[in-house]
Structure 1
Amino acid sequence: MLCALIMAGGKGERFWPLSTDEKPKQFLKLLGEETMIQMTVKRLLPLVPIERIFVVTAARYVDLVQEQVKELPVENIIVEPVGRNTAPCIALSAFYISRKYSDASIVVLPSDHLVVVSDRFIETIEYGHQFIQNHEEGIVTLGMKPDRPETGYGYIQYEKDYSYQNDVSGEAAVTREENGQCLNLYKVERFVEKPDEETAKEYIQKGNFLWNGGMFIWKCSTIIKLTKAYLNNTYGILKDIFESSDKDFTNKLNENYPQVDNISVDYGIMEKAKNIYVIPSDFGWDDIGTWYAVERYRDKDDNNNVCVGDTKNLSASNNIVVAKDKPIVVVGLDDVFVVESDDIIFVGKKKDIDRIKEIKRNVNKQ
């Protein structure tokens, strides 16, 4: 049985000032008329019914999840008392989901990514799930075929000459044709960190490197076993929490969860585990991580300006302008971004977009 786990606890600081601690980017309408989490839930529904979709988030965002995904059962919102990175977050959720569905497989995915071709996305997950059903100890991750030397993403290197061989027939690699897309599954050689530009160019030339999209398919029982093997402290704490009575569960979770390991699933488990496979995927994926990503996908006017809300650009080009309550007029400026939030209006050069977190800290100090 396939369930989905959407991770929705991040702060989205790179979208400040629109994204705030009270309402981070997964709850914002960055790309259209739906918020990022609404888009994520919607694209899953053809494969996973709403009663098997789970959202893990912080306590302060539970009301936002309920407000924006009204059809989601309240018991499917998993509350993480404090943020401790992705490894304990996923392990907590695996314990929680397996208590409801004892033989569950889960697809784990972020709440704030873009997928352009939803049908192909569903076919890819379905293909990975079929593999997991027949190989319970396996882990499947989705790697995105790179179209540029991106330095902001981690990469997955796979073994060119080792694609999964059918255990029964011994024939060619597991390949599935879906609407003209050929799906293959390869053994992962290693996960690599964000590279510099020259290294990223080398990865593309080699042809067996994919962007790490942070999406995984595995059995709940598998991730729990791997947590026990590689993060025994976290496993012990979570096991003790989930063995408590329903009456004591919340208190024990709040009291003990802060002691779990603060580590990502990549560092804590994926770099150590065996039996990891990747599906090279091509469904129009993007990590909506900065304002540059919004610029890539929002409609632009004749002068290449992204205009959201009541905005006007006069003798201005290549700007990002986001209005909330008041009209914004930009005259004679190029390559700037202007963002209105509830609290402030931010004006800066686009070249400083990558410094948003640093700028936010400096503004808050004053």
Structure 2
Amino acid sequence: MVSGIILAGGSGTRLWPLSSSAKPKQFLNLFSDKSMLRETSERIADIVPMKHQYILTGEKYMPLVKEEFGETVNIMAEPQAKNTAPCILWAAFMIQKHSGGGVAVVMPSDHTIKNGRAFHAALDAAVGKAEQGHIVTFGIRPTRAETGYGYVEIETSEYQANQTVVKLVSFHEKPNQELAGHYLQAGNFLWNSGMFVFDIQTMIDEFQEYEPELYHLFAAIDPDNRAQVARAFEQAKNISIDYAVMEKTKKAYCIPSDFGWSDVGGYESLHEENEKDECGNVTDGNAIMEQSKDCYVNCQKPVVCVGLKDLVVVETEDAILVAQKDMSEQIGKIAKQLNVR
């Protein structure tokens, strides 16, 4: 049996003010009439029925998830945000308790994938490898020397995208421009997608091997007991699944993938992934674009843009943003300072 673990606790500050701490990007309809969370759930539904999907989110987002799904999925509210390792381990124990184990697919809820058929081919290959007791990630074949993503290094540059399963050599932090160019030319460095497929017991065993303190915190509790879960999270370290397990395990494999993936990390990628007019503009709302090029405009009130290039113009009930399209990191920092609600 295959279960799904959907990560839906992020705050999406780099897409402020569209995304705010009150309603982050995973709950927004950015690419269709469905939220990104709903799109993620439906993306894996052919392999993972909704009754076997576990949505991990913050307690304050529980109403948003319930509004979206009702009782059709399993909703797990993290008492505290402690990065991805504690919540994935908690979900692994939860699935083991209720389903006896099997394979789990971990999906961030705020990514987009354009080619569903290619994604399912890669997912099928990953599930097959995970059933053999391995941990599989998806490495995205880079299309540019990107400095905003972490990378995974695989043992070969020869592969068939979405089908070949290769040994994962190491993880690499976000590079500078020169190093990113080297990664692109080398061919065996791929973007780290943050998606994983693994056998439940294998992942639990790897936590026991490489993060024993974290393992014992969650192994000692009933994953359904809210008070016990709260105490475990209180004591748990803030650590990602990459640092906790993936960079240490000897069971890591990678499927080099090409299925139109984006983490929608900021306005530049939001612009890139949406349909554009003949001048490269993306507009949502009542916008008049006069001699403007390659802009992203999302406004509730009528807006007139004259002579603009590579700008973001966003208007919500709470704020107005005008910025260069490539300033998402700075936008995120300001959003955190404002502590937007």
TM-score by length of 2: 0.94
Give 1 or 2 for the bigger CA radius of gyration: 1
Note the alpha carbon deviations across 1:232-262, whole angstroms, 9 max, x for none: 121111122227xx6xx11222233211111
- Residues 184-223 of structure 1 mapped to structure 2, 5 A cutoff: 184-223=164-203
Shift in CA distance, 34/314, structure 1 to aligned 2, threshold 3 Å: same
What is the one-letter code of the residue matched to 1:140?
A: V
Cα RMSD, aligned residues only: 2.0
| 1:346 to 2:321 alignment | yes
Deviation at 1:313, TM superposition (A): 1.6
Once the two structures are TM-superposed, the CA of residue 332 in structure 1 deviates from its matched residue by 3.1
1:66 touches 1:72 (CA, 8 Å); kept in 2? no
Which residues of 2 match residues 317-356 of structure 1 at below 5 A?
A: 317-324=293-300, 326-356=301-331
Alignment of 1:82-97 (within 5 A): 82-97=80-95
Paired amino acid for 1:348:
A
Distance 1:364 1:121, change over 3 A: closer
In the TM superposition, residue 360 of structure 1 has moved relative to its aligned partner by 2.5
1:302 to partner: Cα distance: 2.6
Change (3 A) 1:292 1:99: same
1:118 aligns with 2:93: no
Q: What letter is aligned with 1:318?
A: D
- TM-superposed CA distance for 1:187, in Å, is 0.8
**Structure-1 residue corresponding to 2:78:** 80
Aligned partners of 1:111 and 1:242: how far apart in 2? 26
Query: C-alpha displacement at 1:286, in angstroms?
Result: 1.1
Instruction: Provide the residue aligned with 2:155 in structure 1.
Output: 159
- Displacement of 1:117 after TM fit? 0.8
Cα distance between partner residues in 2 of 1:64 and 1:121: 27
Q: Given that residues 14 and 265 in structure 2 are in contact (C-alpha distance below 8 angstroms), is that contact kept between their aligned partners in structure 1?
A: yes
What residue number does 2:8 align with?
Answer: 8
CA contact (8 A) 1:154 1:195 kept: yes
Question: 1:309 is aligned with what amino acid?
Answer: G
Q: Hey, what's the Cα distance between the residues in 1 that align with 2:230 and 2:251?
A: 34
Is the CA contact 1:162–1:187 (under 8 Å) kept in the aligned structure 2? no
SS in 2 for 1:226: helix
> Secondary structure at 1:19's aligned position in 2?
coil
Report the Cα distance in structure 2 between the residues aligned to 1:262 and 1:290, rounded to whole angstroms: 24
% identical aligned pairs: 38
Count of aligned pairs between the two proteins: 340
**Gap change, CA 1:107 and 1:182, over 3 Å in 2:** closer
Say if 1:228 and 1:289 are closer, same or farther in 2 by CA, change over 3 A.
same
Q: Which amino acid aligns with 2:173?
A: E
**What's 1:359 paired with?**
334
CA distance in 2, matches of 1:333, 1:162: 43
Three-state SS of the structure 2 residue aligned to 1:194 is: coil
